[in-house]
């Protein structure tokens, strides 16, 4: 307790999802007194549990490449370091090309991706078919393959970050909603929830698709909007596919789609609707499955008889340019944005958590400063991420 009549924390995080949970873990590990507040009853109940578990460093910009390379190091060594199995599987990612324009886009990106340390190469048709033997050979030109990418369980991973953070002394308050941000002389002072008031030196907005509403409590207009995406899982079949397969060809109704086989045999898949479906509605549509099924069978005819077991819908915390928003709020000292992770909030989580710790303890590195302009809250948002 401070001289004020409410408890005081070094850092308060709003949101116990795939960003808030690892951030709490890294802050608590560094000795900070941390409180995480979430309006839902347990960890990962917002967008995080709806992610399909893809983890890649294969992006088109240095910020996401660097952050995800670090995330992959953390995910892949997590069981060894902390004892919790999070279903990490290093199956790699493939981006497949059936048309010259996708081949050109993917090949152009390779230079930058390699420059930033990605283990990735272009495979011609024959070599690609060795990695993904069941991809449709008709019209196949080849694709990129990044063998160090993979997948893990968003629920297991987020729960593990949560448990480990709690072991290190972090507090989590569930079923509690942040309703007010108290600012004094331009500085974060406290927050009010529907239950209590808590003081803090730093406040992190990790509120996922609700980040705009949270920023509004500090009179900040943060361009993060909820963008609906649907996913599905099939019955389990014998193992035949290692990497995630991504097809970035736009088609009527969708701009890309991706799928992989989980280690337990199910195919898990997702599509990016075009135009975007904005809003907080998470009821599934009847148009998703016929649209994505048609595209998947086209790319992998072998999937035509597999049975779908369940579909679901969730929200991408979307930014206008497809890049996350990470950094200090302009006019409120101590307020840190960790939002707008779009379709990559699970894979960005651990790398972002460490970066947020470096913001808080004032230890940003020269490498951090190289990538921060790409995710800065005050950038002009006119760019476009090519591998959203
Ligand atoms: C179908 C689908 C597939 C996806 N696949 C992948 C994938 O393969 N790989 C990947 O990396 N990403 C994927 N994503 C994206 C990923 O799910 C999100 O980017 C990520 O979960 C965002 O994490 P977050 O912690 O920022 O948000 P969330 O998990 O939504 O957490 C935010 C939390 O903030 C809390 N909150 C908000 N406002 C308040 C308030 N006022 N008071 C208290 N609590 C509050 C909410 O209750 C919520 O729990 C997918 C998303 C969808 C929908």
What confidence score (pLDDT) does residue 69 get? 96
Q: Which residues contact 98 (CB under 8 A, 6 or more apart)?
A: 139, 140, 141, 247, 249
- Tell me what the mean pLDDT of segment 7-35 comes to: 98
Ligand 1 geometric centre to CA of 200 (Å): 24
pLDDT tens for each residue of 323-363:
999 999 999 999 999 999 999 999 999 999 999 999 999 99
What confidence score (pLDDT) does residue 383 get? 78
What confidence score (pLDDT) does residue 4 get? 66
pLDDT tens for each residue of 203-230:
999 999 999 999 999 999 999 999 999 9
CA gap 212, 162 in Å, rounded: 24
Residues of the chain above pLDDT 90, percent? 95
Ligand 1 geometric centre to CA of 378 (Å): 22
What proportions of the chain, in percent to the nearest 5, are helix, strand and coil? 30, 30, 40
What confidence score (pLDDT) does residue 1 get? 46
Q: Does residue 2 carry a pLDDT above 90?
A: no
Ligand 1 geometric centre to CA of 47 (Å): 3
Nearest to 209, CA basis, from 283, 348, 317, 339 = 317
Q: Does residue 369 carry a pLDDT above 80?
A: yes
Ligand 1 geometric centre to CA of 150 (Å): 19
Nearest-CA residue for ligand 1 atom 24 is: 208
Ligand 1, pocket residues at CB < 6 Å: 14-20, 37-40, 45-48, 50-54, 177-178, 206-210, 214, 229, 231, 270, 314-317, 341, 343-347
306 close to 358: Cβ distance less than 8 angstroms: no
pLDDT tens for each residue of 81-118:
999 999 999 999 999 999 999 999 999 999 989 998 89
């Amino acid at each position: 307790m401070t001289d004020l009549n409410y408890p005081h924390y070094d850092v308060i995080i709003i949101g116990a999802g795939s960003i808030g949970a690892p951030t709490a873990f890294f802050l608590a590990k560094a000795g900070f007194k941390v409180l995480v507040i979430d309006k839902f009853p347990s960890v990962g109940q917002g967008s995080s549990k709806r992610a399909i578990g893809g983890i890649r460093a294969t992006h088109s910009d240095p910020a996401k490449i660097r952050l995800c390379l670090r995330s992959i190091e953390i995910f892949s060594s997590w069981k060894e370091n902390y004892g919790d199995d999070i279903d990490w599987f290093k199956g790699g990612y493939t981006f497949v090309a059936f048309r010259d324009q996708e081949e050109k886009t993917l090949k152009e990106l390779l230079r930058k991706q390699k420059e930033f340390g990605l283990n990735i190469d272009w495979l011609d048709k024959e070599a690609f078919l060795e990695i993904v033997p069941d991809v449709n050979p008709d019209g196949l030109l080849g694709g990129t393959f990044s063998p160090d990418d993979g997948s893990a369980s968003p629920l297991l991973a987020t729960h593990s970050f949560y448990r480990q953070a709690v072991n290190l002394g972090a507090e989590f308050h569930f079923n509690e909603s942040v309703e007010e941000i108290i600012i004094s002389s331009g500085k974060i002072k406290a927050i009010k929830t529907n239950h209590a008031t808590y003081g803090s030196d730093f406040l992190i907005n990790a509120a996922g698709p609700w980040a705009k509403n949270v920023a509004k409590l500090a009179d900040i207009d943060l361009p993060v909007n909820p963008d609906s995406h649907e996913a599905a899982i099939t019955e389990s079949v014998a193992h035949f596919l290692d990497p995630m397969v991504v097809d970035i060809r736009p088609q009527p109704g969708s701009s890309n789609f991706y799928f992989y086989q989980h280690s337990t045999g199910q195919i898990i898949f997702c599509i990016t609707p075009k135009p975007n479906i904005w809003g907080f509605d998470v009821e599934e549509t009847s148009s998703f499955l016929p649209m994505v099924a048609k595209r998947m069978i086209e790319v992998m005819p072998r999937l035509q008889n597999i049975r779908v077991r369940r579909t679901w819908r969730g929200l991408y915390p979307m930014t206008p340019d497809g890049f996350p928003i990470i950094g200090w709020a302009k006019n409120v000292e101590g307020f840190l944005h960790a939002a707008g992770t779009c379709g990559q909030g699970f894979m960005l989580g651990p790398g972002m958590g460490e970066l947020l710790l470096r913001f808080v303890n004032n230890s940003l590195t020269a490498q951090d400063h190289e990538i921060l302009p790409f995710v800065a809250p005050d950038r002009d948002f006119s760019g476009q991420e090519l591998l959203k």
